[in-house]
Amino acid sequence: MCGIVGYTGSQKAAPILLEGLKKLEYRGYDSAGIAVLNNKVIEVNKVTGRIANLCERTADGKNCPGTVGIGHTRWATHGAPTDTNAHPHMSNDGKFAVVHNGIIENYIALREELIQKGYRFESQTDTEVVVHLIEMYYNGDLKKAVIKTSARLQGSYALGVVCTDEPEKVYVAREASPLILGVGVGENYFASDVTALVSYTRNAIYMDDGEFAEITPDSITVFNPAGQPVEKKISRITWDVGSAEKGGYEHFMLKEIIEQPRAVKATIAPRIKDGEIILDETELTADYLTSINKIVITACGSAYYAGCAGKYAIEKLCRIPVQVELASELRYSDPLIDEHTLLIVLSQSGETADTIAAMKECKNRGATTLAVVNVVGSTIANTADFTLYTWAGPEIAVATTKGYSTQVSVLYLFALYAAKKMNRIDDKLYNDLLECLKTLPKKIQEAIDMNSAISTLAKKYHGVDSMFFIGRNTDYAVALEGALKMKEISYVHAESYAAGELKHGTIALVEEHQPVIALCCNEAIMEKTMSNIVEVKARGAEVLAVTFKDNHKIVSLADDVIFVPKIEMIFSAAVEIIPLQLLAYYVAKENGCDIDKPKNLAKSVTVE
């Protein structure tokens, strides 16, 4: 998805903008550009393809004098990825340049209106209407022009604007698209993502919907939609620069897989004190929890699959119905949600458009909302009634790994916490499960250590056309995420099935040498999954089984076996997923794929 950055200060702007854009590369993009203001003239450089091309064109920014500028990485939505459609976009009089994240939904009507008034359009983008509206409304006061322009826009936007008449200033505006201001000394910044800011400042202001801001080297003033100044809190960014960089690993994805024990520990350990789970960021009291009649979990993609894994733990321990719903479906389903529903919203980025919309829909129907989010100050975190952060640190690879395992870990904590509050668990079981949960980071580390040879196995399983992932119950939840990991980064068609469903149709597809990844960590129903392994073997499948250490029953059935450490069944998803993440990674590597930036995908899906 698109990314924006901006700078005003006394240093050369272009190198800072380019560095910021490089930090946003992980979000996925197809073109990039910068606009720098120098001597009351705006110089724009934009290119299709990588930021490296932009660096080459501008000699790493050295060829662009000027200390104020804006930059953008574009992920095409309206119009092909071309130099012309890349941002920044200029006004016809050359006075304004604009960068934009999001989608202007009423751009066709605005475009027609502006064309009739004589404005000339260069691109096919929705964004270009913004710069011409500003030009139309400008009469010497940029602030007023931004207010009037914002009032005409429907949809989502994070905007950055520069103007030759106000050469030290940058204007920004936000509606339903992330925007963060970086507070410096004698210089200030903005970006759509804190990763672009951490090298320069740790002091950040998170903008809210409807707000806009005037940024100079020495001041930041944030305004409400009516143009009145609002007090904003300066938050401290705790992510370190190192964790936003590769640190010697070939890919961010591998680094982030390896970081999971630390990420899960950082997420759960501070919330366990003196034998109790403390979720003091929430007000989920015993009275409240016993007043609800169901829990709905909503999310997209891997976060949705994290919800599927969490459902088993919550239902098992709390004995309350848990529905897991795709956010893009829930929002349009006229959902049966009221004040007796607790809605749990899972999102790494906190900015996924469908998840935000589903959450708002459910909030309007009376649900209490609990967000599980990684990015501090993100829209979902700010909109929810309560937020439990996953302390995974920045996740850069497009395919989530530590985002997923930390989400699952928070659901485990929640399950145990709620069961205790609701009086659905005895002290002995609570204490035993809590002790087990504390070992989760260690078990994840063991799962990583036990699978260092998975790269060899990937040599056997790469280059195939399709794979099936099967499992039952908790194993099925992991199969869903395992298949998604495989398809999104290695481009191998991978499907997951509840193992018992195979014989209801899918088994027709199983032929000689068809790879089937069989998840068998759930002891209670292992015999059943083993029968399914026998069924697919009988049709010639090549079976790679994942099971817990020392389970030798499977060895004689499967062609290959991956072991993971044994852990309480309801907590096993966070451990079991590790070898599947590694397998997807190494198969993708064998297939020669761009692992951190898979084709057609973006890190943060901020459009519907």
Binding site for ligand F6R (CB under 6 A): 300-303, 347-349, 352, 355, 399-400, 403, 484, 488, 604-605
d(CA 608, CA 103): 9
Q: Would you call 470 helix, strand, or coil by DSSP?
A: strand
Strand-strand pairing, 466-471 and 493-498: parallel
Q: Please identify, using beta-carbon distances, which residue of 170 and 517 lies nearer to ligand F6R.
A: 517
Q: Please identify, using beta-carbon distances, which residue of 26 and 138 lies nearer to ligand F6R.
A: 26
Q: Please identify, using beta-carbon distances, which residue of 178 and 441 lies nearer to ligand F6R.
A: 178
d(CA 291, CA 368): 12
Amino acid present at 378: S
Give the list of residues 6+ apart from residue 9 with CB closer than 8 angstroms, or none.
Answer: 67, 68, 184, 186, 187, 188, 217
What is the maximum span of the chain, computed from C-alpha positions, in angstroms?
A: 80
Least distance from ligand F6R to the Cβ atom of residue 91, Å: 34
Least distance from ligand F6R to the Cβ atom of residue 354, Å: 8
CA dist list (Å): 175 to 106, 158, 363, 413, 435 = 14, 6, 19, 33, 44
Structure tokens at 473: 């119950």
Start-to-end C-alpha separation, the chain:
12
Give a three-class secondary structure readout of 76-137.
CCCCCCCCCCCCCEECCCCCEEEEEECCECCHHHHHHHHHHCCCCCCCCCCCHHHHHHHHHH
Least distance from ligand F6R to the Cβ atom of residue 273, Å: 28
346: closest CA among 359, 329, 336, 333?
359
Please spell the DSSP secondary structure of 158-211, one letter per residue.
Answer: EEEEEETTSTT-EEEEEESS--EEEE-SS-EEEESSGGGTTTT-SEEEE--TT-
Q: Please identify, using beta-carbon distances, which residue of 554 and 583 lies nearer to ligand F6R.
A: 583
The catalytic site residues sit at 2, 603
Q: Would you call 3 helix, strand, or coil by DSSP?
A: strand
Q: Please identify, using beta-carbon distances, which residue of 47 and 345 lies nearer to ligand F6R.
A: 345
Least distance from ligand F6R to the Cβ atom of residue 605, Å: 5
Least distance from ligand F6R to the Cβ atom of residue 374, Å: 8
Identify the bridge partners of residue 72 per DSSP, sorted by sequence position.
4, 33
Count of other CB atoms within 10 angstroms of residue 49: 14
Q: Please identify, using beta-carbon distances, which residue of 42 and 486 lies nearer to ligand F6R.
A: 486
Q: Let me know the angle formed at the C-alpha of 419 by 357 and 412, rounded to the nearest 5 degrees.
A: 60
Residue 598 phi/psi, 5-degree rounding, is -60, 150
Least distance from ligand F6R to the Cβ atom of residue 306, Å: 8
Are residues 205 and 183 in contact, defined by beta-carbon separation less than 8 angstroms? yes
79: left (phi over 0), alpha (psi -120 to 50) or beta: left
Least distance from ligand F6R to the Cβ atom of residue 179, Å: 17
Least distance from ligand F6R to the Cβ atom of residue 517, Å: 17
Q: Please identify, using beta-carbon distances, which residue of 25 and 542 lies nearer to ligand F6R.
A: 25
Q: Please identify, using beta-carbon distances, which residue of 8 and 400 lies nearer to ligand F6R.
A: 400
Q: Please identify, using beta-carbon distances, which residue of 112 and 332 lies nearer to ligand F6R.
A: 332
Are residues 406 and 374 in contact, defined by beta-carbon separation less than 8 angstroms? yes
Q: Please identify, using beta-carbon distances, which residue of 399 and 577 lies nearer to ligand F6R.
A: 399
What single DSSP character describes residue 7?
Answer: E
Q: Please identify, using beta-carbon distances, which residue of 175 and 488 lies nearer to ligand F6R.
A: 488
Q: Which residue is nearest to ligand F6R (CB)?
A: 301
Residue that is written with structure tokens 């913004």 in the block:
130
Give the list of residues 6+ apart from residue 35 with CB closer than 8 angstroms, or none.
Answer: 42, 43, 44, 69, 70, 71, 88, 90, 97, 99, 162
Amino acid present at 383: T
Q: Let me know the angle formed at the C-alpha of 298 by 296 and 301, rounded to the nearest 5 degrees.
A: 145
Least distance from ligand F6R to the Cβ atom of residue 299, Å: 6
Least distance from ligand F6R to the Cβ atom of residue 372, Å: 9
Least distance from ligand F6R to the Cβ atom of residue 144, Å: 36
Q: Let me know the angle formed at the C-alpha of 482 by 480 and 485, rounded to the nearest 5 degrees.
A: 110
